[in-house]
Amino acid sequence: MNRRVLGQKFARLATNAVMRSPQLWRVFRPLMRKQFDAIAGTWDTMRAADHLAPYEAALEAVEPQPARTLDLGTGTGQGAFAIARRFPEAEVVGVDLATAMVEEADRKMPDDLRRRVRFEAADASALPYPGESFGLVAHANMIPFFDELDRVLQPGGQALFAFSLGEETPIYVAAERLRTELERRGFIDFAEFTAGKGTAFLARKPVRA
């Protein structure tokens, strides 16, 4: 079994474990960071050309246009760049656990997006941002941390989850599980998307009186 397949199996194992018991993230976090630091330089060559198709399909349904957005698990920045191009007035922050991924994203930054996009190394389970900071929080092939997502998302803002290969994505959470966790936190306006080989899910944090 080659290293890539082993990495995919480990990512699925970590996702399933953390979704069952979020406290296990402290065990998997250093291993996931090491894994993604190691492949940052070749990450783009490992992705299919249409890997962002479900992500972009869900972005088309985001409204109103968010002023400030967060791309969690940004990797080499493809999702952050897609957000910036979809919403040309938005500020975009791309976050990844792996420092090498953040460095690669910075290296790839298009000049026309440099004013509005920045990348930072951070843990999605404990983000360094104030509450209600973002109008959109997006995840592409990313383990979600629902309490932290709820904390940083503005009332009326939307949460986006995309999985480039659907159920075959190594880091994958079923739509039913996403809906259950988000409903528990009061989210509404659920929508599902299929594009390319993948799926996406969109939900809104309500505005409370």
pLDDT digits (tens, 9 = 90+) for 70-96: 999 999 999 999 999 999 999 999 999
| pLDDT score of 49 | 82
pLDDT in tens, 34-69: 999 999 988 888 888 889 999 999 999 999 999 999
Considering the domain boundaries, does residue 118 fall inside one?
yes
Count the neighbouring beta carbons within 10 Å of the beta carbon of residue 155: 12
Considering the domain boundaries, does residue 88 fall inside one?
yes
More confident residue, 6 or 119: 119
Considering the domain boundaries, does residue 18 fall inside one?
yes
The two tokens of residue 154 are 């503005």
| pLDDT score of 209 | 64
Considering the domain boundaries, does residue 107 fall inside one?
yes
> What CATH number should be reported for the domain holding residue 48?
3.40.50.150
Domain, as residue range, for 151: 3-204
Whether residue 1 has pLDDT greater than 70: no
pLDDT in tens, 84-138: 999 999 999 999 999 999 999 999 999 999 999 999 999 999 999 999 999 999 9
Considering the domain boundaries, does residue 147 fall inside one?
yes
The pLDDT of 179-200, averaged and rounded, is: 97
| pLDDT score of 3 | 74
Q: Where residue 28 falls among pLDDT bands split at 50, 70, 90?
A: very high
Considering the domain boundaries, does residue 209 fall inside one?
no
pTM beyond cutoff 0.75: yes
| pLDDT score of 123 | 97
Considering the domain boundaries, does residue 196 fall inside one?
yes
Considering the domain boundaries, does residue 23 fall inside one?
yes
Work out how many domains the chain is built from and give that number.
Answer: 1
